[in-house]
Structure formats: C-alpha cells, structure tokens
Structure 1
C-alpha cells in the first residue's frame, strides 16, 4: 500500500508543475487534429479515386485501385502524416512531463516547439522503422493509446469466425499477436530515449531493452493495472452520473417530456466522457510510462537528462494582453464552448439517425437467414431452408453456381471439398456426378443423407413461404448464367419473391437487361465512395465492419436499400440497427429476432441502461 501511495505522489509530482499547459495542449491538439485530419483524409481518398478514374471502391475494383502508383504515394503520405502527428503528441507529453520532473514551468509554445523538433527526427533515414512501430506496435501493445489517432485493429466478423473455426489457424493468429506484443513491449521506453536523449530509434530500442531487463513482467503488470484504473474511473463517472439521472427520472416520472429530456442527459454524459477520454487517454498512459522510465533509470544508476536550459526567455502566451482578456472571461468562454460542442454533437448525431430520442419512424428490419438457418443446419441445404421458414425469418440468403452441364445448384464454395469431401471444382463437374454427394455429414452425422439442392428445387419448396436473396457467384466458366437463373425464377413466377445479388456488377446489368422488374443488390465488403452511380443495383449488401452511417444515409437518399452481412454478435447487431439499415444477414436469425423484439418493446430508459451495462 505504501508503494501505491508513493506511486500516486510521484504521478502528481510529474503533473503539478505543468498540468495547465498539458491540459490546454491536449485539448487544442486533439480537437485540431480531429477537425483537420478527417477532411484531409477524405480529400486524399477522393483524390486517389480520381487518379484511378473511379467513383467508388469495392471488392470488384480494389485490384484496379491498388495498381496505381499514385494511390500508393498518397497512402504512404497519409501513413507518414499519421505517424508524425501521433509521435508529435507523444513527444510533447514526454517533454512536458520531463519539465515537471525537473521542476520547470514550460510555456505552451515552448512545449510545441520542443515536441515538434523531436518528432521531426522521424524523417531521418535511420528512424524510418519507427513509422511501423507507431502505426502497428502501439495499438497492439498499449490498448489504451488507441483512443488518439490510431483506431483499434479489428478483423471483419466473417474473417475472424473463419479463423476461429480452424484451430491451427486460430493458434497461429493468437501466437502472432502475442509474439508481436512480447517483443515490442521491450521497446516501451524507446520514444523517451528518442525524445529526451536525441537517440536514434535503433539506439532507443536497444537502451529500452537494457533498461527493462529483469523488470519486464513487473512493468507490464503496472501498466496493465494503470490502464484498468483509467477505465475504472471513466466508467465509474458514467455509472455514477447515470444513477443521478435515473433518480431524477424516477422523481419526475409523471412528465413524459421531462423524462425524455432527462434521459438525453445519459447520451450527453457519454459524449462528454468520450471527449475527455479522447483528449487525455494518451497523456495518462504516458504519465505511467514516464514514471516507470525515471524509476528504472534511477535504480539502475543510469543518468537522467537534465533540465531544459532555454525556457527562461520562452514566449509566454499568458503574458500577452489578449490572453489576459481571455483569462478574465474564461468561465463564460468555457461555458459557451462546452454548450456549442455538445449542441453540434447532438445535431450531428441526430442527423445521422443516432439521436437520443427514438421517434419510432424507422421501418421494420428484415432478418435474412445466411445460407438458411446455418447455425443449426448444414448451410445451403433444404433442411437449413426449412429451419429458416420454421423460425419465421423474413428471407433466406443462398448462393448459386453453374455446373459443367449448365445446371444451377445451390453452393457457396466453388470447390466441393469443404461440404462434401470431394476435391472437385463445380464448373468441372456435371450435376449427375454431384447430385448424390453427402452435403450434410461435415456439419453433423444425422444429416448424412442431405444432398446439394438445385435452385429449381429450392424455389419449389420456398414459393409462397419466404423471400429469397439469391447470390450469383460466377467463376468465369459459365454459359448464360444470369439468363438461366432468371428463367428458373420466372418459371416459378417468383419475380416479386426474390432478390438477385452479386459481387460482380456485370451480373446485375445483365439481369436488368433480361428482366428490369427483378430487384437486384450489389454485394461488397469494401464500401468507400459514391455507389449511387450503380444504376443496375436497387440496393447494397455491405460487410458489417465496413458499414458507415454516411454510406447508409447516402444510399437511403438515393432510394436504395442497405443490407448488412454477416452479423452474428449482439454488439454488431446493435451497431448496425442503430444505423437504420433495412435488413441484416445472419447465421443466427433467432437471436436477431429476439434482439429486435426487445428493442421494439423496451422503453427509452431500458435501452440506455442496456448501453451502460454493455459498456458501449
């Protein structure tokens, strides 16, 4: 316990001399970067599309996009800027804390000047590896740092599920990140050497490795506990504030309007705490790292950089007339700034269908069973389709391909091995050769007699029972593929009961030429740019992790529907539902139905409590 109090006392010692300077710098810097970097990023992306003569970026044209040397130059410059501004922030934090360690007052402009001069060393050839460290290593090893400019690394759900389903692949995946984290944590003090002692990144890594030797696991534990305290304070304030709001809500329960406005306070509280966390998370974490750095240097007998010798004549903003005037009215300015920031945030959120008060204007969300009820039955088979009908799904998503002899069968993979055990490509196999193959035992032995269905068989069963989202998966070996699919649909008079979708836009164009009345959907996992130029698509089906509110709004303004795939976790379901999508494609249609029912029949307060308890 004594050590804990000493640690806290040391932390306050590193803060008290320049806490005002650090707070002002972090607020101004973070909000300036948020205001500048996002539009610059969007402008650079639009420029890169223009360079390649594209309007949008999808799975289909990403290869064309990445072949342009101009695109790579733009991407490299963006990554370089991202690395530099991240390093600049860290260098300014370290510089400010070091001035406090030496009991020096450091003015804001002097802090920015010294931090900038240190960060500029990244452009020296011997420090280029630091760019990789800043962009990849920091988010992996120091999870609390990602609230600054670096987004957390998260795989798309369908990719992660694929990795999890293959034991060896999952072990390799986990082992890779553990190894990266283990090796890179040895470099934790390298930026301090880089910033304070003007060492190259190579020298900083070596010195950090030596300094942490013998204390590796202890320092990891300290930083882990420190991060836990930061998050504990963050969520503690949120839960405490929510409790007070709930007390007010109970006391004024007779007024529905006041109740709604009071509940909006929860959203404001979350917004304020989110902004504070965004501004000060990085500095709070580097406060801990700096304390460990000085402690390890002192105990090892390694000399610590002395005080700055050029701060006496540094330009001090607070001594200027206009700064004194601002200080005189500081309370009014702060109040106006907070109200303006919250007001703009509320308007922006409400405009993007993230408003605090749910007006109940959103249309019903359609639940599509991915490859049938594939959580409980073998995918793309009649049992899976029957299961989807029985639980009351709104639609079934299925995949169709063409065999060597022109038959349209229901199968996702272009090779038969995963679901039947036969290592043959579909386009090289006739339907007679595959129609008796066992397509169910791979899922469960009780489905041993299950076979690969044809599209004709599926429509015979589903007609009048459920809608279908039929994905055409061309391999390049087909003959009149689109015509064959449309012919089968028209044969069963199911034009109004199906949607034909594909990742190949050319397929949709051909379908519209054959029968313009059939609804079409363009599928993509990469969804950047203006997709409304795709006239042959009546809607879009987007991978969940890539979906943005801007994309949904843009599609809806153009009169297009937005479906999202493959949404299996509750967190993902809630995220896309809040965006106002028209339908979700999931392996777990029953769970999706339950979640939507709960949201429809829960009050405002219930929804906010769920958010808080979910720590979202």
Structure 2
C-alpha cells in the first residue's frame, strides 16, 4: 500500500505544474459555460412551466414538466461529455507520465479530445454513465456541501435526511452506486488506453481487482478522507484570517454581517478547488494502480518512443483553449455585471432589500442612500420612481417634495434641470446638505454589477408612460437579471410583462385577501409583514411566486419572516437583518474572542 501511495505522489509530482494549471483552466472554462447554459435553460424551463421562481412548494411539480425533463436530459448529456473529456485529458497526462514524458497543455487537451471522439465513435455510452457515477461518488461529500447552499434543494435534502425512510433510501442508493462503481474503476483506462469496448473493459477491471478489492478501497478511502479533512483545515484557517480582518478593519456593527457572507464564499471556493485536486489525485492513483496491475505494461525508461504526436494539432488545441477561456471570462464578467438566476435566486436563502436605500443612515432615494445600501451588503436596493415635467424618470417617494426639501410642489411640476437645484439631504442631516434627487439612469449606472434594484413605479394614472420608460431603461442597461419592477397598479405590471416577459414584476398589496398571486403578469407579491402567514407563503410558492415582506425593522419580526420562509425582506436596517438571518453561534463567539485578544 505504501508503494502505491509513493508511486501516486511521484506520478502527480512528475508533471504537477502542467497538471494543475490545465485542470484549473479546464474547470474554470467548463464550469462557467455549463452554469451559463444551466442559467438560460432554467429560466426557459420555469417560463414554460408557468412559474416565476423555484420554491420548496413547487419543485416537485416543476421536475416532472416536459421541458424540465428535457432540460435535465440535455444538461446530463453535456455534463457527461465534459466529464469524459476531462477524464480523457487526465489519462493522457498520466499515460505520458508513465512513459516519462511531460506533456504540454495542448497535448493534454488534444489527447482528451482524441479519447472522447474514439468513445463516441464506438458508441461507448455506458462508459459516460459510469464516469458520471464515479465522479458523483468521488465528489459526494463536496456535492452535498454545495447543495446546502442552493435553495430549494437544501430544504428538500434536509427533509429527506430527517426521515428514516429517506435515510434508508439514500443508504441503499449509495450501496448500489458502490456496487457498480468499485468493480469498474479501471474500466476508463481499459476503454480509453487499451481501446476496449465497455463490456470488455468492465470485465478487465473486475479481473484486475481480484484479490485486491479491500486494499484498493481502503487506499482510495484514505485519499478521499485526507482531502476532506484538508478542506476543513484550510477552511478553518481562511475563516480565522477573515475574522481577524473583519475585526481589525471593519466597524463592529458590520462584523457579524460580513463574516457569515465571507464564510459562505470561502466554502464555495474551497469546494471548487478541493474537487479539482481530488480529481487530479483520483486519476493519478487509479493510473498508478492500473499500470502497476496490468501485466502487459512494464515501466519504461525516458528513452521511450512515446511522443504524443498521435493526438493531433497542438496549436489548434491551444487556440481552442484560448478562445474558450476568453469566452469564459466574458461570461463571468456578464454574470457579475448583469446578474444571474443562479447567483441571485438559488444561492441565497433570504434576500435583503434596503428600503429606499439605507434610509436610516442617509436621506432616502438619493445616491448617498444607494451607496450606503451597497456598503451595508444589501442584496437589493428598493427605490421609488416618478416623472419630471420634461419626462425624465427620477427617484422620489412622495408626490409632494415638502417632506424632503421643504417646498410644497410636486416632482412633475419641475423639469429635471430645475429639480437639480433642490437640496434633499439637509432635512436628514447637515452631513448630507446639497444632496440632489438622482435620475433612475444615474442610479442604474452606479448599481450595475454592485447591487440589484427593486424599482417601485408610483401610481401616476393609467395613461402614464412611466412603466414604458422604466422598461426601456432596464433594457438599455441590460439589467433584466438585476432589476425587478413593482407597483400598486396591476395594469403597469401587465404592460411591462406584455412588452418583455423576462422582466420580473411584483404586485404591492395592502391586504392579504384574494387569489392575487395567480396572475401571469406578476412574479412575486410584496406586502406588509404583518399580513404574512405560513398559509399565504405556501400558497404563493405553490404557484411559483415569491413573497417579499415590508418593512421589517425589528429582530422578532425578521426572525418570524425567516421561520415563515419569505424570499425577500425589505428593511431600513439591512445590516441588522443580515446579522439575524445569517449569524451563527460559532462566528459570533470567534469574533468576540478576537475582539478581546486584539484590543
């Protein structure tokens, strides 16, 4: 066993630089492209199913819809092809290492494509299913940790594991998975290196494992356990560093809000990296065992005639990788700038909206309030819009400007240029004297890539062109994924939906009566928190609609909203809300300890 471990380390170390750089680039490119396709497909499937949001109440119905089944099948095929390509690349790498040749990244990639094309030509589709099962087993713990961050799957998994029948079913599934994967762990080498068909390759794997099953399983288990333990050691170290940074360089009021958010991101990054290292190590270990157990392979000297030349044009492969990497970076930039259904909705438990900006720290509906909302880590900023005399869309809650400027005139009686002469900050604090009323365009330019926007269109009458102008601005700034539009007037929302179904809309209601969440013109309802009940949230979620609650400003009400499972809390205190929603006893204790030590 120790010899196999040493040989595994040697084969990985032999070409470690190219191995890990290649794997990092490969994972970044393929993961980005895969998630981009998943995001587009998920939005399409939701629309075809008649849902606006995926919730714990409607996920069962969603999964059996025809378009959803088609999406699952398509994403599974794409995923299998990516995994087969990655497997082919790493086997090419280790095949070269066995012959004492350091392969360049272009050679690794072309070798992977060669092996993938060969398996497709031979119609070795069962190999793809086995690779999917193998990756699932190897990364099982990491997949579980990842899914705990994804709603509503986290809720579904929790419900399954909390029931004896669910636990028994999971255990049975794992036993069956082990029974299929373990006997076939060398099938990939037999098919991709020896070029056997699946049946012969699987039996070849069984033959190689005879009398060695226990030793191999123990060895691989030790590798995987070491990787998981390493993950948590590194995670603990990163959390400690983050906690020290938060304690030293941020305000105490923000510390408990920042650290849980940082911990979540650290965990996701480490899961990604651990999966990458686990994959490289797994194929390295299996390759050492395979070449060591195979009688018709013998170790050869560096003078071997293996050249890798059969794997085609390396320059073409390098060009392909460069184009794919550029497209990947462009896609990442697009997600950051324009938002994504996955990052916005699925990776958040409850989203937090800063009411009129952080309106308890800066004058409402001003650029100062928007900036504060970003600083306070809010997911959304809520703002109100009206129209000036010359048709410019500007921020403003009241029809009259008396409360914020001292002048008893309406916004619509001013041109935008005239409006800029008003001081709407001095009433709040002398620190904000000279603050102006911003246009919606100014706010969108600032918020793009920083924070999502909840645009409430004030009711200016049925003939108002304000809804059309708001829609035009969202399209102009390409912020459909970063903006939602709300109003108390349903006709405004209907007009926007008719003109662009992709813009998400929310109906603001003053009382919780009627089947108002069934309308196709809206994606969510927004109502006073005192009207929110468990029955209402469940009914809305079954219809695929989200629930936004306002204005939630005290601890007990925030905790009640969390317990009821609302999707978005609109509050004047986003930092307090994040503290209560995401605080953990462990991080709280750690911060208290560090404050004492670092005083």
Structure 2 matches for 1:182-201, cutoff 5 A? 182-201=179-198
63, 82, 85: which is aligned to 1:85? 82
Q: CA deviation at 1:227?
A: 0.7
Q: Does 1:518 align with 2:513?
A: yes
Q: What is the DSSP-based 3-state SS (H/G/I as helix, E as strand, rest coil) of the residue aligned with 1:198?
A: coil
Q: 1:146 to 1:303 in 2, by over 3 A?
A: farther
Q: Is the 8 A contact 1:146 1:152 kept in 2?
A: no
Query: Corresponding residue for 2:106?
Result: 109
Query: Corresponding residue for 1:303?
Result: 297
Q: 1:98 to 1:216 in 2, by over 3 A?
A: same
197, 206, 220: which is aligned to 2:203? 206
Q: 1:208 to 1:581 in 2, by over 3 A?
A: farther
Q: Is the 8 A contact 2:352 2:379 kept in 1?
A: no
Question: Bigger CA drift: 17-26 or 156-165?
Answer: 156-165
Distance in 2, Cα, partners of 1:19 & 1:195 = 22
Query: Corresponding residue for 2:18?
Result: 21
Q: CA deviation at 1:518?
A: 1.5
Query: Corresponding residue for 1:96?
Result: 93
Q: What is the DSSP-based 3-state SS (H/G/I as helix, E as strand, rest coil) of the residue aligned with 2:308?
A: coil
Listed as ranges, the gaps of 5+ residues in structure 2 are: 323-328, 354-372, 381-506, 551-561, 571-577, 594-599
Query: Corresponding residue for 2:392?
Result: none
12, 33, 37: which is aligned to 1:36? 33
Deviation sequence 1:457-487 (CA, Å, 0-9, x none): xxxxxxxxxxxxxxxxxxxxxxxxxxxxxxx
Question: Bigger CA drift: 304-313 or 184-193?
Answer: 304-313
Q: 1:20 to 1:599 in 2, by over 3 A?
A: closer
Q: Does 1:135 align with 2:129?
A: no
224, 231, 234: which is aligned to 1:234? 231
Structure 2 matches for 1:526-565, cutoff 5 A? 533=522, 541=537, 555=546, 559=548
Deviation sequence 1:385-431 (CA, Å, 0-9, x none): xxxxxxxxxxxxxxxxxxxxxxxxxxxxxxxxxxxxxxxxxxxxxxx
Deviation sequence 1:200-230 (CA, Å, 0-9, x none): 2222211111111211122111111101111
Q: CA deviation at 1:26?
A: 1.2
Structure 2 matches for 1:222-301, cutoff 5 A? 222-244=219-241, 252=248, 256=252, 270=267, 272-297=269-294, 301=295
Q: What is the DSSP-based 3-state SS (H/G/I as helix, E as strand, rest coil) of the residue aligned with 2:12?
A: helix
Structure 2 matches for 1:399-410, cutoff 5 A? none
Q: What is the DSSP-based 3-state SS (H/G/I as helix, E as strand, rest coil) of the residue aligned with 1:197?
A: coil
Distance in 2, Cα, partners of 1:65 & 1:259 = 39
Q: Is the 8 A contact 2:191 2:198 kept in 1?
A: yes
Distance in 2, Cα, partners of 1:265 & 1:130 = 39
Q: Is the 8 A contact 1:521 1:541 kept in 2?
A: no
Q: What is the DSSP-based 3-state SS (H/G/I as helix, E as strand, rest coil) of the residue aligned with 2:103?
A: coil
Q: What is the DSSP-based 3-state SS (H/G/I as helix, E as strand, rest coil) of the residue aligned with 1:186?
A: helix
Deviation sequence 1:314-347 (CA, Å, 0-9, x none): 76679x9xx9xx9xxxxxxxxxx9xx99x969x9
Question: Bigger CA drift: 221-230 or 279-288?
Answer: 279-288
Deviation sequence 1:70-97 (CA, Å, 0-9, x none): 7655543332111110111111112112
Q: CA deviation at 1:165?
A: 4.9
Q: 1:542 to 1:296 in 2, by over 3 A?
A: farther
Deviation sequence 1:177-199 (CA, Å, 0-9, x none): 31331232111111111221112
Q: CA deviation at 1:30?
A: 1.0
Q: What is the DSSP-based 3-state SS (H/G/I as helix, E as strand, rest coil) of the residue aligned with 1:533?
A: coil
Structure 2 matches for 1:82-481, cutoff 5 A? 82-124=79-121, 126-136=123-133, 138-140=135-137, 143=140, 146=143, 161=159, 165=163, 171=168, 174-244=171-241, 252=248, 256=252, 270=267, 272-297=269-294, 301-303=295-297, 309-311=306-308, 359=376
Distance in 2, Cα, partners of 1:184 & 1:17 = 28
Q: Is the 8 A contact 1:14 1:97 kept in 2?
A: yes
Larger RCO of the pair (alpha carbons < 8 Å, separation 6+): 2
Distance in 1, Cα, partners of 2:44 & 2:375 = 37
Q: Is the 8 A contact 1:191 1:204 kept in 2?
A: yes
Deviation sequence 1:146-200 (CA, Å, 0-9, x none): 5999999997756875786566x86465334313312321111111112211122
Q: What is the DSSP-based 3-state SS (H/G/I as helix, E as strand, rest coil) of the residue aligned with 1:37?
A: helix
May I ask how many residue pairs the two structures share in their alignment?
Answer: 395
Distance in 2, Cα, partners of 1:142 & 1:208 = 21
Deviation sequence 1:428-457 (CA, Å, 0-9, x none): xxxxxxxxxxxxxxxxxxxxxxxxxxxxxx
Q: Is the 8 A contact 1:238 1:270 kept in 2?
A: yes
Q: 1:166 to 1:191 in 2, by over 3 A?
A: same
